[in-house]
Chain A
Amino acid sequence: MARHPRLFLAGVALITVALAPFLLSLRTEADVNKMLPEGDPALRVMALVDSEFGGSDEVAVVVECPDVFAPAALHGLDSLTAALAAVPGVADVQGLTTLQDVRGQGDDVIISNVIDSVPSDPARLAALRDEVLADPRYRGALVAADGTAALLLARLAPDSDKEKTVAAIEQVVRERAGAGRISLSGSPALMKFVRDWMTADMLKLLPLVVLVLALVLFLTFRSWYGVLLPLGAVLIALIWTLGLMGVFRQPITIVMVVLPPVLVSVGSAYGIHIIERWEHERRLGKEPGSAVEIAVGNTGLPVFLAMATTAAGFGSNFLMKIASVRAFSVFSVIGIAFSFVLALTFVPAVLVLVKRDVRSNPAEAGNGRKRNRWLAGWGGWVYRHRSAVLLVGGVVTMLALVFATRVRTETDFVRYFKPGSQPSRAASIVNERFGGMMQFEFVIDGDIVDPDVLARMARFQSGLESIPHVTKVYSIVDVLKTTNQAFNGGRPEFEQLPGTREATAQYLLLLSFSGSEFLSRLMTSDYQVARITARFDRQESREIALAEERIRSLMDSTFAGSSAKASVGGMPMAVLALHQNIQSSQLWSVVTALAAVLLLVSVLFGSLRLGLASLLPLLFTLAMSFGVMGAAGLRVDVVTAMLGSIAVGIGIDYSCHLIARRREEQAAGFAGEELARRTLGSVGPAIIANALAVGLGFSVLMFSSLSILQQFGALVAATMFYSGIGALALLAAALSSRAKPRR
């Protein structure tokens, strides 16, 4: 490389030019369902609901106004409903003005819309208001109990382009800005908001992280190459990685948004260490070419080890059963490998060509510079107080672990958004005033017109209604009860299921007069599969987990011994599946990362003792990270689930550099306090620069529009602080306890 730098640079340019065009084919993806592994039971039920019942993806349009039953408001609702129904991709719209009802009046069975036309007569309006608000099917489902808000549910066709459809719905809503306060909720809308905000974040955060890194690099090196080379290397690595994502059509998910800050901040470290060493050698009077050879030769191993351990940490996320985390795991490892390759090719190739004279100053090349002197002093202090340092570290770790036990998993996707934001507010309104944003889907497979199956469904529904937070349970059972009552003159005692399969089949035939579309949303045309829906007025996965336990028990007891089988799905189950996948695999991913790190460090340094010592700062870091989360009441979500393995993967770098440098100094014959002083005095600044670069790089995520990324950024930034302390204090103290010169 020292002989053919231009050849290396040409190769890098060629690959970059080849991969850059694929950046244009990158797309975003925020569907919670896509995070689950294929074959997840929650997905199977949702696929069945999509294929048999026209899907369950609904955009909730909340209209707030002083009085929903005012003629102008009702006309506005009707017109909004028609406009939404006309949006391509919207299969149908459920609202006050589209609801059909079956009523009995004497010998007449009346099948009509709840509101056929908006009455102008105040008395009829008042009667309509009373009638609708008295009916539990509408009150708190499509109109708020106090009549000041209405809900329209726009169901999206399963084969529609959901993002385009939601965008068109947003446009319809914008055009009616004057008709009360209108806000959107429901999972398709929330997913669209996440995608929009993710895209905005990508465009905003990348320049910010580059700026922060440039500042850190300038403060570290105070040279153009010290700033531009590590930056250039990671930006090229980023282009390669994102380009590959484009080649493999891998979408950018909420998890993948953190990839650019990760690569820029983590990947820059490799270049930092090479340049730091190159400058060191230049100050000793070496020529640029030979300085490069020494820098790559001596720093190559620790940089490789740092890369390999970081890759192991990030790669261990592949054990998580969440598709987007797995994809992040693969591409982060690829990106880290690219950064390493570029740090060892692109950076040295340019350094060979650097014409600027680095002042030869052997004194400064050692521990002569102020920051080096300060850190050498720190190394001496740690050596002298190594037992106290280890004791304090141990106590702090134990204390942190106490708080860490309080950490809980939470995959509620409304928490992606900041409290008070429009999506968060709309979700609260739907949860509090309309029975819930998320819907459980139950699929009953069997002879549905069999009176026994219908009776079990009715019992199951009653049981569901008694489970906290389960609301608005609905199925063909309710329709049949209403129809039976209607056919029998509207008498309340007939609000029950028909007693025979003939009566059931005949009622279903009667109902087909109003078009079989609404029946097809509740059961298949051959009466072999039925659907029960139930809203859930909370979105927290821990609440869903509590409800799910009772639901499964109820399902088992109700359908035991029946020919019909019941299964459960829906958005709450998808959120819960994420929750369970994180819970079951997060610990394993961290343990795997630690084991991989132990193996790599032990093998490459040829010492199990060093391998075990390198785990000390990591255990401290993990305890601190989760301890702070526990103390602050923060939850592990789909992004912070990666915190542990990322902390291991990045944090180990500092230990690797410290151990490598220490062995170098030991080989030079130093021992005891002098060894500790020389080690920290020489490698300390690079470790601090590295930790600063990574910590500040991640901290730009705090400027994200999404709450979930803000938290992650702050947590990883803090993690880098713990890792730095862990390496510069705990590891240094641990290594000092048995330090012999190596010849």
Chain B
Amino acid sequence: MKRLTTALLLVNLAAALTGNEVLDRVRAATNARDREATATMTITDKGGRVQTRTLSTVMKGDDKLMMTFKSPADLRGVTFLTTSSANMWIYLPAQGRVRRISGSAVDQGFGGSDFSFREISNLSFSDNSASQPAESTAFAGTPAWVLTVKDKDGVASRMWVEQARFVPLRVERLGSDGKPTKRIEFADFASRGEGWIPVNIKIFDLNRGSRTELKLDSLKLNTGVKDNYFTEANMKKGA
């Protein structure tokens, strides 16, 4: 009886939610004021070559992010900082200098991985909107919403969202011909208060045949990271 009630409730929800409402629920479920984590990034190219990198990340909101490479040895201390989509800096310890990086071709890839900077920093899809209604479907046997979203640059994606927790399960970036160019899979959600944070994210570049797995090893949310943490001086301390 309880199952039937849940099913009826889901059917009702399916009829009631728009795409943007689903997106709002996703943001609410996955967002945090700030996050700190150490992460392992495993990059596998088309030929099967594997590179592993570890890094520490500190994020605040959807704009502020500092990432510092811990390994491999020749990248140790390299730090990226972004405080808005237009402001990105890099610190290279071998040069001992911080440089602002800009230009139209930035944000195509991050650290040799299949993630773009935006994909890695904006896991709550804050700049996405869905003009079409969400459809109810099943994803690997789990009731899910599927919706088409567009980011601020007009790039379309198909998104599967778990109905029970409103966490993203899969995102497919679509090319101009409507075919998927990248696939992002979210798994192993860690419960933090009312939210669910994916600690295992895999991204597949379907054109290049490469893939990257990002695993968050230790995750702390809402620790009260200050705005003035994201400075050039702290970049240089990263190593």
Question: A506–B108 contact, CB under 8 A?
Answer: no
* A512 CB contacts on chain B under 8 angstroms: 109-113
* A459 CB contacts on chain B under 8 angstroms: none
Question: A108–B102 contact, CB under 8 A?
Answer: yes
Give the interface segment out of B90-98, B157-165, B190-198. B90-98
Q: A107-B99, A512-B111 are in contact. Are A100 and B105 (CB under 8 A)?
A: yes
Encode contact with B along A337-356: 1 for CB under 8 Å, 0 otherwise. Answer: 00000000000000000000
* B166 CB contacts on chain A under 8 angstroms: none
* A113 CB contacts on chain B under 8 angstroms: 104-105
Give the interface segment out of B7-15, B45-53, B139-147. B45-53
Give the interface segment out of A364-372, A517-525, A591-599. A517-525
* A112 CB contacts on chain B under 8 angstroms: 102-106
Chain B at the A interface: SS class: loop
Question: A526–B51 contact, CB under 8 A?
Answer: yes
Q: A487-B97, A498-B94, A525-B51 are in contact. Are A513 and B106 (CB under 8 A)?
A: yes
- B101 within 8 A of partner (CB): yes
Q: Write the chain A residue with the least CB distance to B92.
A: A506
Question: A513–B107 contact, CB under 8 A?
Answer: yes
CA distance A488 to B99 in the complex (A): 9
- Among A487, A502, A524, the residue within 8 A (CB) of B45 is A524
- A503 within 8 A of partner (CB): yes
Question: B109–A515 contact, CB under 8 A?
Answer: yes
CA distance A488 to B94 in the complex (A): 13
- Among B43, B92, B108, the residue within 8 A (CB) of A513 is B108
* B75 CB contacts on chain A under 8 angstroms: 502, 505-506, 509
Encode contact with B along A84-106: 1 for CB under 8 Å, 0 otherwise. Answer: 00100000000000001000000
CA distance A151 to B101 in the complex (A): 30
Q: Write the chain B residue with the least CB distance to A117.
A: B104
- B220 within 8 A of partner (CB): no
Encode contact with A along B62-84: 1 for CB under 8 Å, 0 otherwise. Answer: 00000001001111001000000
Q: How far is the CB of B208 from chain A (nearest CB, A)?
A: 7
- Among B93, B99, B112, the residue within 8 A (CB) of A487 is B99
Q: A108-B101, A505-B75 are in contact. Are A514 and B49 (CB under 8 A)?
A: no
Q: Write the chain B residue with the least CB distance to A157.
A: B207
CA distance A111 to B117 in the complex (A): 14
Q: Write the chain A residue with the least CB distance to B107.
A: A513
CA distance A113 to B176 in the complex (A): 20
- B100 within 8 A of partner (CB): yes
* B73 CB contacts on chain A under 8 angstroms: 502
Q: A524-B45, A526-B49 are in contact. Are A506 and B78 (CB under 8 A)?
A: yes
Question: A525–B97 contact, CB under 8 A?
Answer: no
CA distance A564 to B108 in the complex (A): 31
Question: A525–B110 contact, CB under 8 A?
Answer: no
Residue among A100, A116, A512 with the highest chain B CB neighbour number at 10 A: A512
- A110 within 8 A of partner (CB): yes
Chain A interface category by residue count: 35 or more
Residues of B27-53 at the interface with A, using a CB-CB cut-off of 8 Å, are: 43, 45, 47, 49, 51
- A218 within 8 A of partner (CB): no
- A51 within 8 A of partner (CB): yes
* B177 CB contacts on chain A under 8 angstroms: 86
Q: How far is the CB of A96 from chain B (nearest CB, A)?
A: 15
- A548 within 8 A of partner (CB): no
Residue among A498, A500, A505 with the highest chain B CB neighbour number at 10 A: A505
Q: How far is the CB of B83 from chain A (nearest CB, A)?
A: 15
Question: A502–B99 contact, CB under 8 A?
Answer: no
Question: A108–B99 contact, CB under 8 A?
Answer: yes
- A545 within 8 A of partner (CB): no
| A-B CB contacts (within 8 Å), total count | 112
CA distance A711 to B105 in the complex (A): 52
- A256 within 8 A of partner (CB): no
* A513 CB contacts on chain B under 8 angstroms: 101, 105-110, 117
Q: How far is the CB of B30 from chain A (nearest CB, A)?
A: 25
CA distance A498 to B93 in the complex (A): 13
Question: B108–A510 contact, CB under 8 A?
Answer: no
- A739 within 8 A of partner (CB): no
Residues of A469-522 at the interface with B, using a CB-CB cut-off of 8 Å, are: 487-488, 498, 500-510, 512-517, 519-520
CA distance A514 to B51 in the complex (A): 19
Residues of A203-261 at the interface with B, using a CB-CB cut-off of 8 Å, are: none
CA distance A641 to B202 in the complex (A): 56
CA distance A107 to B111 in the complex (A): 21
Q: A515-B105, A515-B108 are in contact. Are A525 and B45 (CB under 8 A)?
A: yes
Question: A500–B110 contact, CB under 8 A?
Answer: no
Q: How far is the CB of B138 from chain A (nearest CB, A)?
A: 32
Q: How far is the CB of A127 from chain B (nearest CB, A)?
A: 18
* B94 CB contacts on chain A under 8 angstroms: 498, 500, 502-503, 506
* B176 CB contacts on chain A under 8 angstroms: 86
- Among B92, B102, B113, the residue within 8 A (CB) of A507 is B92
Q: How far is the CB of B4 from chain A (nearest CB, A)?
A: 49
Q: Write the chain A residue with the least CB distance to B175.
A: A86
Q: How far is the CB of A97 from chain B (nearest CB, A)?
A: 12
CA distance A514 to B73 in the complex (A): 23
Question: B99–A109 contact, CB under 8 A?
Answer: yes
- Among A52, A107, A449, the residue within 8 A (CB) of B74 is A449
Q: Write the chain A residue with the least CB distance to B103.
A: A112
CA distance A507 to B99 in the complex (A): 12
Residue among B51, B93, B109, B110 with the highest chain A CB neighbour number at 10 A: B109
CA distance A7 to B97 in the complex (A): 93
Q: Write the chain B residue with the least CB distance to A51.
A: B47
Q: How far is the CB of B99 from chain A (nearest CB, A)?
A: 5
* B97 CB contacts on chain A under 8 angstroms: 487
Q: Write the chain A residue with the least CB distance to B44.
A: A525
* A508 CB contacts on chain B under 8 angstroms: 112
Question: A525–B74 contact, CB under 8 A?
Answer: no
CA distance A514 to B110 in the complex (A): 8
Residues of A629-677 at the interface with B, using a CB-CB cut-off of 8 Å, are: none
Question: A111–B111 contact, CB under 8 A?
Answer: no
Q: Write the chain A residue with the least CB distance to B117.
A: A513
Question: B102–A502 contact, CB under 8 A?
Answer: no
Question: A509–B208 contact, CB under 8 A?
Answer: no
CA distance A56 to B91 in the complex (A): 35
CA distance A313 to B74 in the complex (A): 64
Question: A520–B93 contact, CB under 8 A?
Answer: no
Q: Write the chain A residue with the least CB distance to B98.
A: A107
* B210 CB contacts on chain A under 8 angstroms: 525
Question: A503–B108 contact, CB under 8 A?
Answer: no
* A86 CB contacts on chain B under 8 angstroms: 176-177
* A504 CB contacts on chain B under 8 angstroms: 74
* B101 CB contacts on chain A under 8 angstroms: 108-111, 510, 513
* B99 CB contacts on chain A under 8 angstroms: 107-109, 487
* A52 CB contacts on chain B under 8 angstroms: 47
Q: A525-B51, A526-B51 are in contact. Are A514 and B74 (CB under 8 A)?
A: no
Q: How far is the CB of A332 from chain B (nearest CB, A)?
A: 42
Q: How far is the CB of A159 from chain B (nearest CB, A)?
A: 10
- Among B74, B93, B110, the residue within 8 A (CB) of A501 is B74
CA distance A514 to B95 in the complex (A): 20
CA distance A512 to B117 in the complex (A): 10
CA distance A339 to B73 in the complex (A): 73
Q: How far is the CB of B155 from chain A (nearest CB, A)?
A: 14
Identify the 6 closest CB pairs spanning chains A and B, nearest first: A515-B108, A112-B103, A503-B94, A505-B74, A514-B105, A110-B103
> What 19 new A-B contacts, CB under 8 Å, besides A109-B99, A509-B69?
A52-B47, A86-B177, A111-B101, A112-B102, A116-B104, A487-B95, A487-B99, A502-B93, A505-B72, A506-B78, A506-B93, A510-B90, A513-B101, A513-B117, A514-B105, A515-B108, A517-B208, A520-B45, A520-B208
6 sample A-B contacts, Cβ–Cβ < 8 Å, listed by A number: A52-B47, A111-B106, A487-B97, A504-B74, A509-B69, A525-B45
